[in-house]
């Protein structure tokens, strides 16, 4: 079964760092781009960025450039999304997605990140 | 940047009704348009890719059409399990993506 399994929910304080993960299985992880999508509470979907695990080529949405870092470790079929200094406005559900010919055909279950003092 | 709009933002319809959602791009995107369904508390699911192609396993009551700047998503006969928010999403050859704001569908 093709799936993306994300790490569990996180509760952090403003200013803390965080790295969440997304592990792919059931397909060739290095052959598909992996993206990240943010959904703030009660809001819509926002594309953040995308990485090609085969060579770590990474693209960011202008809205998220410099705010987060996307990386991947192809040896363990895992992509990451990280923050160096969290803000309360980073509170959201984060989904990793597999990109196939323009569409996000496989979605992770989501990781809820709560940032609160 | 390409902007996406959807209308309506929400709708209520009866079981069996035909439901139509429109999505408009701020510039010509050819058929680079996908549709997703997000049920409450769940991750989104791809329904339609490249404007009109049904993803494998998706019921045939869902369909999509359009090209250029104007697109339509249709549920031919609304079912109780179709209660969800529906998003359009455009993509381009530079691997940038934009979602529409979503349309919430309820049962009347």
For residue range A14-66, what is the model confidence (pLDDT) as tens digits?
A: 999 999 999 999 999 999 999 999 999 999 999 999 999 999 999 999 999 99
| Inter-chain residue contact B94 with A102, CB threshold 8 Å | no
DSSP string, chain A: --EEEEPPPEEE-TT--EEEEEEEESS-GGGSEEEEEEE-TT--EEEEEEEETTTTEEEE-TTTBTTBEEEEEGGGTEEEEEESS--GGG-EEEEEEEEETTEEEEE---EEEEE--
Shortest alpha-carbon distance between residue B47 and chain A (Å): 9
Name the DSSP letter for residue B6: E
Give the pLDDT of residue A102. Answer: 92
The whole-angstrom separation of Cα A104 and Cα B34 is 9
Give the pLDDT of residue A43. Answer: 98
Give the pLDDT of residue B40. Answer: 96
Most B CBs within 10 A among A2, A5, A33, A45, hence the mutation to make, goes to A45
| Inter-chain residue contact A104 with B102, CB threshold 8 Å | no
Q: Is A36 on the interface with B (CB under 8 A)?
A: no
Shortest alpha-carbon distance between residue B101 and chain A (Å): 6
Q: Is A46 on the interface with B (CB under 8 A)?
A: yes
At A55-72, the pLDDT tens digits run: 999 999 999 999 999 999
Give the pLDDT of residue A14. Answer: 98
Most A CBs within 10 A among B6, B29, B43, hence the mutation to make, goes to B43
| Inter-chain residue contact B95 with A99, CB threshold 8 Å | yes
Over its length of 108 residues, how does chain B's per-residue pLDDT go in tens digits? 899 999 999 999 999 999 999 999 999 999 999 999 999 999 999 999 999 999 999 999 999 999 999 999 999 999 999 999 999 999 998 999 999 999 999 999
What 3-state class would DSSP assign to B106? strand
Q: Tokens representing B55?
A: 């993803």
The whole-angstrom separation of Cα A116 and Cα A64 is 20
What letters, b where the CB count within 10 A reaches 16 and e where it falls short, cover B57-88? ebeeebbbebeeeebbbebeebeeebebbbbb
Q: Is A57 on the interface with B (CB under 8 A)?
A: no
Q: Is A99 on the interface with B (CB under 8 A)?
A: yes
| Inter-chain residue contact A47 with B46, CB threshold 8 Å | no
């Amino acid at each position: 079964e093709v799936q993306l399994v994300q790490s569990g929910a996180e509760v952090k304080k403003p200013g803390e760092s965080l790295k969440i993960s997304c592990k792919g299985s059931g397909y060739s992880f290095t052959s598909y781009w992996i993206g990240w999508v943010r959904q703030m509470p009660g809001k819509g979907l926002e594309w953040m960025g995308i990485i090609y695990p085969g060579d770590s080529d990474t693209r960011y949405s202008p809205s998220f450039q410099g705010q987060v870092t996307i990386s991947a470790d192809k040896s363990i079929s895992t992509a990451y999304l990280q923050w160096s200094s969290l803000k309360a406005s980073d509170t959201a559900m984060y989904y990793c997605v597999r990109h196939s010919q323009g569409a996000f055909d496989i979605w992770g279950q989501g990781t809820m990140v709560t940032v609160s003092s | 940047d390409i902007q996406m709009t959807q209308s309506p933002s929400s709708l209520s319809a009866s079981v069996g009704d035909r439901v139509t959602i429109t999505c408009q791009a701020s510039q010509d995107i050819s058929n680079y348009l996908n549709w997703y369904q997000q049920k409450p508390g769940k991750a989104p699911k791809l329904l339609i890719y490249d404007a009109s192609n049904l993803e494998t396993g998706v019921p045939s009551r869902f369909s999509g059409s359009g090209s250029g700047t104007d697109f339509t998503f249709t549920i031919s006969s609304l079912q109780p399990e179709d209660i969800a928010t529906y998003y359009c999403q455009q993509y381009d050859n530079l691997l940038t993506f934009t979602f529409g704001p979503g349309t919430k569908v309820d049962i009347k």
